[in-house]
Structure 1
Amino acid sequence: MTATAPATEQRGGARVAVQRFGTFLSGMIMPNIPALIAWGILTAFFIPEGFTPREDFSTLVGPTIHYLLPLLIANTGGRMVYDARGGVVGTFATMGAILGSDWLIGLINADLPDDNQLGQVHMFIGAMILGPLSAWVMKRLDRLWEGKVRAGFEMLVNMFSAGLLAFTMAAFGFYVIAPIVNGIMTVVGGAVGWLVETGLLPLASILIEPAKVFFLNNAINHGVLTPLGLTEAAADGQSILFLLEANPGPGTGVLLAYTIFGIGAARATAPGAALIVFAGGIHEVYFPYVLMKPALLLAVVAGGMTGVATNMILETGLRNPAAPGSILAIWAASPAGSILGVTLSVVLAAAVSFAVAAVILRASRKRDLEREAAGHDALGAAISRTEANKGRSSDALAGLRGASAGGAATATLAGPISKIVFACDAGMGSSAMGASVLRSKIKQAGFGDVSVSNVAIANLDATPDVIVTQQELTERARQRTPDAIHVSVDNFMSSPRYEDVVRLVAESREAPGDDAPAAAPAPTGPAASTADDVLTLERITVSPRARSKEEAIQEAADALVAAGAVTPAYADAMREREATVSTYMGNLLAIPHGTNEAKGEVLASAISVARYSEPLSWDGNDVRFVVGIAGKDGGHLEILAKIATVFSEEEQVQRLVDARDEQEILDILSAVND
Structure 2
Amino acid sequence: MSTATQDTPPRVGARVRVQKFGTALSNMVMPNIGAFIAWGLITALFIEQGWLQGIFSALKNPDGWVAHIGGWGSYDGGGIVGPMITYLLPILIGYTGGRMVHGNRGAVVGAIATIGVVTGADVPMFMGAMLMGPLGGWCMKKLDALWEGKVRPGFEMLVDNFSAGILGMLLAILGFFGVGPIVSAFTRGAGNAVNFLVDNDLLPLTSLLIEPAKVLFLNNAINHGVLTPLGTTQALETGKSILFLLETNPGPGLGVLLAFMFFGRGAARASAPGAAIIQFFGGIHEIYFPYVLMKPKLLAATILGGMTGVFINVLFGSGLRAPAAPGSIIAIYAQTPGNSFVGVTLAVLGATAVSFAVAAFLLKTDKDTDEPDLAAATASMESMKGKKSSIASALTGGVATKAGPIHAIVFACDAGMGSSAMGASVLRRKIQSAGFGDVKVSNAAISNLTDTYDLVVSHRDLTDRARQRTPSALHVSVDDFMASPRYDEIVGTLAETNGAAGADATPVPEEPAPTTDGDVLSVESIVLAGTARSAADAIDEAGQLLVAAGAVEQAYVTAMHDRESSISTYMGNGLAIPHGTNEAKDAIRRTGLSFVRYPEPIDWNGKPAEFVVGIAGAGKDHMALLTKIAQVFLKADDVARLREATTAEEIKAILTSAD
The bucket for the TM-score relative to the shorter chain is: 0.5 to 0.7
Render the CA deviation track for 1:373-411: whole Å, top value 9, x for unaligned: xxxx52122111111111122121122011899xxxxxx
Q: Which of these residues, 153, 169, 172, is aligned with residue 170 of structure 1? A: 172
Aligned partners of 2:375 and 2:478 also within 8 Å:
no
- Map of 1:578-617 to 2, 5 A cutoff? 591-595=635-639, 597-598=642-643
Helix, strand or coil at the partner of 1:382: helix
- Map of 1:185-224 to 2, 5 A cutoff? 185-224=187-226
CA separation of 1:141 and 1:423: change in aligned 2, threshold 3 A: farther
Q: Which of these residues, 159, 184, 187, is aligned with residue 186 of structure 2? A: 184
Match of 1:487 in 2: 479
Residue 145 (1) aligns with residue 190 (2): no
Return the alpha-carbon distance in structure 2 between the equivalents of residues 340 and 8 of structure 1: 54
Q: Which of these residues, 70, 80, 97, is aligned with residue 77 of structure 1? A: 97
Return the alpha-carbon distance in structure 2 between the equivalents of residues 418 and 443 of structure 1: 27
CA separation of 1:466 and 1:64: change in aligned 2, threshold 3 A: closer
Residue 98 (1) aligns with residue 100 (2): no
Aligned partners of 2:255 and 2:353 also within 8 Å:
yes
Aligned partners of 1:311 and 1:341 also within 8 Å:
yes
Residue 396 (1) aligns with residue 395 (2): no
Residue segments in structure 2 that go unaligned for 5+ positions in a row: 54-65, 71-78, 401-411, 447-455, 462-476, 495-504, 511-607, 611-633
Helix, strand or coil at the partner of 1:450: strand
Normalised by the size of structure 2, how large is the TM-score? 0.65
**2:20 corresponds to which letter in structure 1?**
R
Match of 2:41 in 1: 41
- Map of 1:10-49 to 2, 5 A cutoff? 12-49=12-49
**1:357 corresponds to which letter in structure 2?**
A
Return the alpha-carbon distance in structure 1 between the equivalents of residues 442 and 4 of structure 2: 45
Aligned partners of 2:123 and 2:233 also within 8 Å:
yes
Match of 2:370 in 1: 371
Normalised by the size of structure 1, how large is the TM-score? 0.63
CA separation of 1:8 and 1:340: change in aligned 2, threshold 3 A: farther
Return the alpha-carbon distance in structure 1 between the equivalents of residues 609 and 128 of structure 2: 41
Helix, strand or coil at the partner of 2:388: coil
Aligned partners of 2:263 and 2:360 also within 8 Å:
yes
CA separation of 1:287 and 1:353: change in aligned 2, threshold 3 A: same
Higher CA-based Rg: 2
Residue 238 (1) aligns with residue 240 (2): yes
Helix, strand or coil at the partner of 2:51: coil
**1:402 corresponds to which letter in structure 2?**
G
The CA deviation at 1:63 is 0.7
Helix, strand or coil at the partner of 2:217: coil
Match of 1:329 in 2: 331
Residue 87 (1) aligns with residue 107 (2): yes
Match of 2:82 in 1: 62
Match of 1:634 in 2: 656
Q: Which of these residues, 253, 256, 259, is aligned with residue 254 of structure 1? A: 256
Equivalences, count? 470
Aligned partners of 2:440 and 2:508 also within 8 Å:
no
Return the alpha-carbon distance in structure 1 between the equivalents of residues 266 and 234 of structure 2: 46
Render the CA deviation track for 1:86-117: whole Å, top value 9, x for unaligned: 1111111111111111xxxxxxxxxxxxxxxx
CA separation of 1:634 and 1:293: change in aligned 2, threshold 3 A: same
The CA deviation at 1:153 is 1.2
Match of 1:433 in 2: 426
Return the alpha-carbon distance in structure 1 between the equivalents of residues 229 and 370 of structure 2: 46
The CA deviation at 1:604 is 13
**1:302 corresponds to which letter in structure 2?**
L
Q: Which of these residues, 375, 379, 391, is aligned with residue 380 of structure 1? A: 375
Helix, strand or coil at the partner of 2:247: helix
Helix, strand or coil at the partner of 2:480: strand
Match of 2:444 in 1: 450
Q: Which of these residues, 278, 287, 291, is aligned with residue 276 of structure 1? A: 278
CA separation of 1:12 and 1:139: change in aligned 2, threshold 3 A: closer
CA separation of 1:202 and 1:144: change in aligned 2, threshold 3 A: same
- Map of 1:469-508 to 2, 5 A cutoff? 487-488=479-480, 490=483, 494-496=487-489
Return the alpha-carbon distance in structure 2 between the equivalents of residues 343 and 194 of structure 1: 25
Render the CA deviation track for 1:522-562: whole Å, top value 9, x for unaligned: 9xxxxxxxxxxxxxxxxxxxxxxxxxxxxxxxxxxxxxxxx
**2:19 corresponds to which letter in structure 1?**
Q
Match of 2:628 in 1: none
Aligned partners of 2:438 and 2:506 also within 8 Å:
yes
Aligned partners of 1:251 and 1:277 also within 8 Å:
yes
CA separation of 1:233 and 1:8: change in aligned 2, threshold 3 A: farther
Aligned partners of 1:420 and 1:465 also within 8 Å:
no
**2:26 corresponds to which letter in structure 1?**
S
The CA deviation at 1:4 is 8.9
Return the alpha-carbon distance in structure 2 between the equivalents of residues 44 and 486 of structure 1: 48
**2:229 corresponds to which letter in structure 1?**
P
CA separation of 1:149 and 1:202: change in aligned 2, threshold 3 A: same
Helix, strand or coil at the partner of 1:48: coil
Residue 520 (1) aligns with residue 508 (2): yes
Match of 1:532 in 2: none
The CA deviation at 1:246 is 0.4
CA separation of 1:197 and 1:232: change in aligned 2, threshold 3 A: same
Match of 1:289 in 2: 291
Return the alpha-carbon distance in structure 2 between the equivalents of residues 520 and 329 of structure 1: 49
Match of 1:419 in 2: 416
The CA deviation at 1:52 is 2.2
The CA deviation at 1:2 is 8.6
Match of 2:530 in 1: none
Q: Which of these residues, 300, 307, 325, is aligned with residue 302 of structure 2? A: 300
Match of 1:527 in 2: none
Return the alpha-carbon distance in structure 2 between the equivalents of residues 93 and 32 of structure 1: 18
Return the alpha-carbon distance in structure 2 between the equivalents of residues 10 and 323 of structure 1: 33
Match of 1:115 in 2: none
Aligned partners of 1:87 and 1:135 also within 8 Å:
yes
CA separation of 1:519 and 1:260: change in aligned 2, threshold 3 A: same
**1:29 corresponds to which letter in structure 2?**
V
The CA deviation at 1:495 is 2.5
Render the CA deviation track for 1:10-66: whole Å, top value 9, x for unaligned: 765322221111111000000111001110111111112212241111110001101
Return the alpha-carbon distance in structure 2 between the equivalents of residues 521 and 189 of structure 1: 64
Q: Choose 226-235 or 383-392, whichever is displaced more.
A: 383-392
CA separation of 1:449 and 1:34: change in aligned 2, threshold 3 A: closer
The CA deviation at 1:323 is 0.5
Aligned partners of 1:440 and 1:518 also within 8 Å:
no
- Map of 1:658-673 to 2, 5 A cutoff? none
